[in-house]
Structure 1
Amino acid sequence: MSRTLRVVAPIALALSLTGCMGGLLGGGETPPWLLTLTPQAPATENVVRTAGPGEAVTIAVPVIPKEIRTTRVPVHSGPIAIAYVEDLTWVDTPDRLFQDLLSETVTRMTNRVVLDPNQASLDPGLTITGNLTRFGYDEQEGAVIVRYDAAMARAGGSAVTTRRFEAREPADGTAATVAPAINAAANRVAMEAAQWVAGS
């Protein structure tokens, strides 16, 4: 390979990856920063736990509707109109972010061993699935809404319990207020769900 080709190939690859990233984020330019959800439950210093048969908790990635199957934050304006918050982009889609948040919150607030679905072959134990039906800003209410319809299935499928968790936080529709409001609302939902798991 000539020296020219050795220099040009890495540059072409970098430009290609930059273009792909811009496409994945839904725009032509990569945003200056990406946002994520941060757990607000008190952190535990030592997480060394053992689970007997059926005692672990497996938290699945929630099902999400099309309007939030993106790294952008939807703005609901009336029953049918949807836009997106300007200059607000998540580092991943809300289903993955919320699963991570819920898993970490359950770990912090309970004594349960928490598993990812990829580890379910070990012993899924108590399985938490659900639908994350709202995860955005409602213009008419002037607030963000996070709604999680959860289902809890015990080991062996002997019983299934469902419960809806919902939280609202005020915001004005700008990225500066919507982002922290969603983080706060998602944490309230996650902590209530963790208490539900702890009492199972």
Structure 2
Amino acid sequence: MLKLARLSVLLPALALGGCLSFGEKTPPSLLTLTPAATLQPGATQTASAESVTVAVPVVPQEIATLRIPVRSSETNVAYLKDARWVEPVNRQFARVLSDTVATRTGRTIVGQRMFGEAGVSLGGELRSFGVDVPSSSAVVTFDATIVRRLNAPLERRRFEARVPVAAVEPQAVAVALNQAANQVAGEVADWVGR
């Protein structure tokens, strides 16, 4: 009798378990950004007044997610099905930016927590990082800010890259966004190095 009572409690719980979902289904693979310019293993850099502190860019809610926004108009945003970043895209972009600035300018990149106000401070807002359907392109827009030395005026400049997307599907979009992110990072590095 006791076994029957336990079974009567367990069966509804098991049936209900099939209806519950604790989060979204994970896609078959996660996407990541890779820098086109990387530092060579074993290369030593020394922090100096010419070092650069790169802050993780702030982002609007549209891209403060692991999903990839797809804009079909100025006011309509959806998210690409079965596509997720491995981590927030602003952190990934900061690493691409750091590697690109270090490689192109020869300057040492230091973390904010390590040195705070060392040398040049680079930050900004990643305004867009997704797909624009009307132009069939991946779009990366970064409003960069830079303070070149202590008590110097803040400079601000917008950088944008648009790369054609063959199909609005995860792999094609990831490749195009990676290319656009590296293009923007290269332009920012040239601006930092002037």
Listed one character per residue, the Cα deviations across residues 23-52 of structure 1 (whole Å, up to 9, x for unaligned) are 4xxx1x222221110111254354212233
Unaligned runs of 5+ in 2: 1-20
The equivalent position to 1:157 in structure 2, one of 151, 154, 167, is 151
Q: Which runs of 4+ in 1 moved over 6 A?
A: none
**Alignment correspondent of 1:51:** 47
State the AA in 1 paired with 2:75.
I
Unaligned segments of structure 1, at least 5 residues: 1-19
Q: Secondary structure at the match of 1:108?
A: helix
User: Could you say which residue in structure 1 is the equivalent of 2:18?
Assistant: none
Q: Which residue of 2 aligns with 1:127?
A: 121
Residue 61 of structure 1 aligns with which residue?
A: 56
TM-score normalised to the size of structure 2? 0.83
Contact 1:44-1:108 at 8 Å conserved across structures: no
What CA distance in whole angstroms lies between the structure 1 residues aligned with 2:82 and 2:123? 31
Q: Distance in 1 between matches of 2:192 and 2:152?
A: 16
The answer to whether structure 1 residue 147 and structure 2 residue 141 are counterparts is yes
Over the matched positions of the two proteins, sequence identity in percent amounts to 41
In structure 1, the partner of 2:16 is none
- TM-score, with normalisation over the residues of structure 1? 0.81
Q: Matches of 1:55 and 1:79 in 2, distance apart?
A: 41
Q: Which amino acid aligns with 2:112?
A: P
Q: Give the deviation of 1:102 after TM superposition.
A: 0.5
1:169–1:184 CA contact under 8 A, matched in 2: yes
- Structure 2 CA distance, aligned partners of 1:102 and 1:176? 22
Matched pairs, number: 174
C-alpha displacement of 1:154: 2.2
Q: Distance in 2 between matches of 1:149 and 1:40?
A: 21
In the alignment, what sits opposite 2:101?
A: 106
Query: 1:1-200 alignment to 2 at 5 Å?
Result: 23=23, 27=24, 29-41=25-37, 43-52=39-48, 54-121=49-116, 123-171=117-165, 172-199=167-194
Q: Deviations over 1:41-78 (max 9, x none)?
A: 254354212233x3210000111010100001000111
Q: Describe the shift of the 1:107–1:46 C-alpha distance in structure 2 as closer, same or farther (beyond 3 A).
A: farther
Give the Å deviation of 1:181.
0.2
SS in structure 2 of the partner of residue 72 of structure 1:
coil
CA distance in 2, matches of 1:43, 1:153: 24
Structure 2 distance, partners of 1:134, 1:74, is 9
Q: Distance in 1 between matches of 2:171 and 2:177?
A: 11
Amino acid at match of 2:77: I
